[in-house]
Chain A
Amino acid sequence: MEQATEANVKQKIPNPRVEMFKAMMGRFFQNKLAVLGGFFTFLLIFMAIFASVIVPHDPIEQNYSEIMMSPSADHWFGTDEIGRDIFSRVIYGAQVSLQAGLISVGIALAVGVPIGLISGYYRGFWDEFVIMRFTDAMLSFPPLVLALALAAVLGAGLENAMIAIGIVLTPNFIRLIRAEVIAHREREYVEAGKASGLRDWRIILIHILPNTLAPIMVQATLAIASAIISEASLSYLGLGTQPPDPSWGAMLADGQGYLSDAPWIALFPGIFIFITVLSINLFGDGIRDMLDPKLK
């Protein structure tokens, strides 16, 4: 009897780190849509990584005896106008799309976050008259047109398309983070930090940055989705992934001409773009909630 109570007491002092992690997980799993989004996101990542194992056919192999076949047991999503298996191409296309989303947003974050942090914290001439006016100029272009122009200058191809999309996304991040930093630098905890002798860089990185994480997360997941669409658009216009490599955007473009005869050619890549964008958004929302300790 006594032993049991002792064990109880021991159990009652939990490891705080484990507790925190549990609480975070609890917050995430409370949001059913986020769980669904996370599930699909990981499924897509899994598909992209193990594409070569999953696919039943070579995605660029042309088979003229099986042109524009409707979905069947052999070709789950049917075949396109030159007899390539659409299922295999969609799976391989996930590689391209996820890469495009993650890398271009990665570029935008890597450039935008530091500039936004410094510009918002120190303010002054550089912030007001150089960085802000530059972002204004960038934002005044329609994003796709700017991406198109940049991709055209850099040359067609997936890498250049990702760089172009990353550049186009950057000013959004700069502005967002700068605005957040400006709001936070006036808070008393920043002053209290200064009063306890913290240096500027520590205040920026350890105190202000985590407070701006929520909007950054949301913006980043939205940006991944829009980067995937942009890559698809650039590929659709011929400036992204080059044939015969599969890309959802390029497949959509190809299928457009056959919408009435073979709708599956455009339908399946379209569905996948939709599901990917939606699940990444939902997943991002869930992560945002998970990182906010104020939510129960």
Chain B
Amino acid sequence: MSEHSQLEVKNLHVGFQKKKTFTTILNGVDFSVEKGETLCIVGESGCGKSLTSLSVMGLLPKTGKVTEGQILFDGEDLTEKSQKQMSKIRGNDISMIFQEPMTSLNPVHTVGKQIAEVVQLHEKISKKKAMEKAVDMLKLVGIPSPEQRVYSYPHELSGGMRQRVMIAMALACNPKLLIADEPTTALDVTIQAQILDLMNSLKNDFDMSIVMITHDLGVVSEVADKVLVMYAGKVVEYSDVKSLFNNPQHPYTKGLIESIPKLTEETEELPIIPGSVPNPDNMPRGCRFATRCPHAQPTCFNEVPPLIETESNHKASCWMFDQRWEEIKKEGEAYASRKETAATTEPVRN
């Protein structure tokens, strides 16, 4: 067995060139996925989840650039590969499923043709064999009467069916890693459960790793082995799934979990996290969550917290878990009282 992980992302920085300014969106993302493991990346819109997956696929838009860090797939750095080398890896070793099954299939080709195309691209087999493989794949993802369905056009299938076709297409070449970018967001709940079950069972059959991007914590609890919580382009918490739900560490993660409605309690209003995500052009100097954090101290605004291991397989990026936290808190209290006295002793003008 090889020693390295299936996918290891180290200190990834990605940014966009916009006219003359360069804006860094991803700021040091670290994670690893072992063989046969599912990692969920969670976070609100715009926190860099999808950008992380596109960086792994090498599909960043023209203005985007990996400025720092490594993406190691089977120990090889993908950031150093040419587009030509990447296109051999894409679809073959790493596959991707997209959010919108409605638009991810080409409307003018039959689904069978689209699956067969990918198969033929990566395996040197005849058209007929590729089509047979397409039928097999459709059968595998649970599409009824696949012999006829291969000749269906995408618009003749329902959303759930289309997502199954997308999965069939992604798995057609036995990838080692599947990246799923919110695969169930566009589907209704019962179909969601079916698709997640399907992905789980296929993961075991194919012995592949999955990176699932989602903002649905319900999905996370269903499929994940490990969870990466992102906020504003940074990792705030990285943990195995049980530990995360039982014992969330970072105030942001706590806020996310609290904002899920619970069946056992009756509440009028759900707790929310006040404030909004900072603008990437104007990121705070210290912790990026500080402006919305109930525990924030002056240090939080000025210094970036490190990723601290709070228990085994559980890391959070927050000063609260640093040895210096008591000190920081005292400093903060002192600062607050100084400010208060300054406010009260300020001469009142008439």
Residues on A facing B (Cβ under 8 Å): 13, 16, 19-20, 187-189, 191-199, 206-207, 210-211, 213, 293-294
Whole-angstrom distance between the Cβ of A295 and the nearest chain B Cβ: 10
Given that A188-B103, A195-B96 are contacting pairs, would A206 and B151 also be in contact in the complex, using a CB cutoff of 8 Å? no
Instruction: Report which of B95, B98, B106, B148 forms a contact with A207, defined as CB distance below 8 A.
Output: B106
Closest beta carbon of chain A to B100's beta carbon, Å: 5
Q: Which residue of chain A has the shortest Cβ distance to B112 in the bound complex?
A: A16
**In the bound complex, do residue B103 and residue A197 qualify as a contact, i.e. CB atoms below 8 Å apart?**
no
Q: Flag if A192 contacts B96 (CB, 8 Å).
A: yes
Inter-chain contact B104/A189, CB cutoff 8 Å: yes
User: Which interface residue of A189, A191, A211, A293 has the most chain B CB atoms within 10 A?
Assistant: A189
Bound form: Cα–Cα A211–B106 in Å = 8
Find out whether the CB atom of A211 lies under 8 angstroms from the CB atom of B98: no
Residues from chain A with a CB closer than 8 A to the CB of B88 are 197
Binds A, one of B28-36, B116-124, B274-282, B293-301: B116-124
A196 touches B106 (CB 8 A): no
Nearest Cβ on chain B to A11's Cβ, whole angstroms = 14
Contact B106 A193 (CB under 8 A): yes
> How many of chain B's residues have a CB under 8 angstroms from any CB in A?
32
Asked if A189 and B59 sit within 8 Å, CB to CB, the answer is: no
In whole angstroms, how far apart are the Cα atoms of A13 and B98 in the complex?
Answer: 33
Whole-angstrom distance from the CB of B46 to the nearest CB of chain A? 18
8 contacts between A and B (CB under 8 A): A16-B151, A194-B59, A195-B95, A195-B98, A197-B89, A197-B121, A199-B87, A211-B106
Q: Is the CB of B155 within 8 A of A293?
A: yes
- Asked if residues A197 and B98 are in contact (CB atoms below 8 Å), the reply is no
- The CA of A280 and the CA of B12, in the complex, are separated in Å by 58
Q: What separation, in Å, do the CA atoms of A213 and B122 have in the docked complex?
A: 28
Within B88-129, the residues touching A (CB, 8 Å) are: 88-92, 95-96, 98-100, 103-109, 117-118, 121-122
Given A192-B166, A192-B169, A197-B91, list of 6 further CB < 8 A pairs?
A188-B103, A193-B106, A195-B57, A197-B88, A197-B92, A206-B117
Is the C-beta of B321 less than 8 angstroms from some C-beta in chain A? no
Determine the distance from Cα of A293 to Cα of B166 in the docked complex, in whole angstroms: 20
B95:A191 contact, CB within 8 angstroms: no
Q: CA–CA, A217 to B92, complex, Å?
A: 36
Q: Chain B residues with Cβ under 8 A from A19's Cβ?
A: 151
Q: Are B108 and A187 in contact (CB under 8 A)?
A: no
B window 178-232: CB within 8 A of A = none
Tell me the smallest distance from the CB of B213 to a CB of chain A, in Å. Answer: 13
Q: Does the CB pair B100–A188 fall under 8 Å?
A: yes
Contact at B106–A294, with CB atoms within 8 Å? Answer: no
CB A84 to nearest CB in B, in angstroms, measures 50
Knowing A196-B169, A199-B87, A211-B108, the reply to whether A191 touches B153 (Cβ < 8 A) is: no
Chain B residues engaging chain A, CB cutoff 8 angstroms: 57, 59, 87-92, 95-96, 98-100, 103-109, 117-118, 121-122, 147-148, 151, 153, 155, 166, 169-170
B118 and A197 contact, CB distance less than 8 A: yes
Of all chain B residues, the one with the shortest Cβ separation from A210 is B108
Q: How far is the CA of A198 from the CA of B115 in the complex (A)?
A: 12
Query: Per a CB cutoff under 8 Å, which of A187, A197, A210 touches B87?
Result: A197
- Chain A residues, Cβ within 8 Å of B90: 194-197
B106 touches A189 (CB 8 A): yes
Q: Give the distance in Å from the alpha carbon of A189 to the alpha carbon of B155 in the complex.
A: 13
Q: Main SS of chain A's interface residues? A: helix
Q: Which of B98, B106, B148 has the most CB of A within 10 A?
A: B106
Q: Which residue on A lies nearest to B115, using beta carbons? A: A196
Closest 3 CB pairs of A and B: A196-B91, A197-B91, A197-B90
Partner of A192, one of B104, B121, B122: B104
* Minimum CB–CB distance for B78 against chain A, Å: 13
**In the complex the two chains form, is B108's CB within 8 Å of A196's CB?**
no
Given contacts A198-B121, A210-B108, contact A192 B98 (CB under 8 A): yes
- Report A-chain residues with C-beta under 8 Å of the C-beta of B105: 189, 192
When C-beta atoms are compared, the residue in chain B nearest to A293 turns out to be: B153
CB-defined contacts of B155 to chain A, threshold 8 Å: 293-294
Contacts of B89 in A (CB 8 A): 197
Contact A196 to B95, CB < 8 A, known contacts A207-B106, A210-B108, A294-B107: yes
Chain A residues whose CB sits within 8 angstroms of the CB of B98 once the complex forms? 188, 191-192, 195
- When distances are taken between beta carbons in the complex, the residues of chain A under 8 Å from B100 are 188
CB of B51 to closest CB in A, whole Å: 13
Residue ID in chain B nearest A209 by CB atoms: B108
- Name the B residues within 8 Å of A16 (CB-CB): 148, 151
B96 near A197 with CB under 8 A, answer no
A202 to chain B, nearest CB (A): 8
* A293: B residues at CB distance < 8 A: 107-108, 153, 155
When the two chains form their complex, are residues A196 and B107 in contact, meaning their CB atoms are under 8 A apart? Answer: no
Q: A197 near B59 (CB under 8 angstroms)? A: no
Q: How far is the CB of A24 from chain B (nearest CB, A)?
A: 12
Q: Which of A13, A20, A196, A198 contacts B170 (CB 8 A)?
A: A196
Q: How far is the CA of A177 from the CA of B90 in the complex (A)?
A: 28
The contact of A197 among B104, B108, B122, by CB within 8 Å, is B122
Give the Cβ gap from B220 to chain A, nearest Cβ, in Å: 23
CB proximity of A20 to chain B, nearest CB, Å: 7
A211:B117 contact, CB within 8 angstroms: no
Residues of B within 8 A of A211 (CB): 106-108
Q: A196-B169, A197-B92, A294-B155 are in contact. Are A191 and B59 (CB under 8 A)?
A: yes
CA A207 to CA B98, docked complex, whole Å: 17
Chain A residues within 8 Å of B96, by CB: 192, 195-196
Partner of A294, one of B92, B95, B151, B153: B153
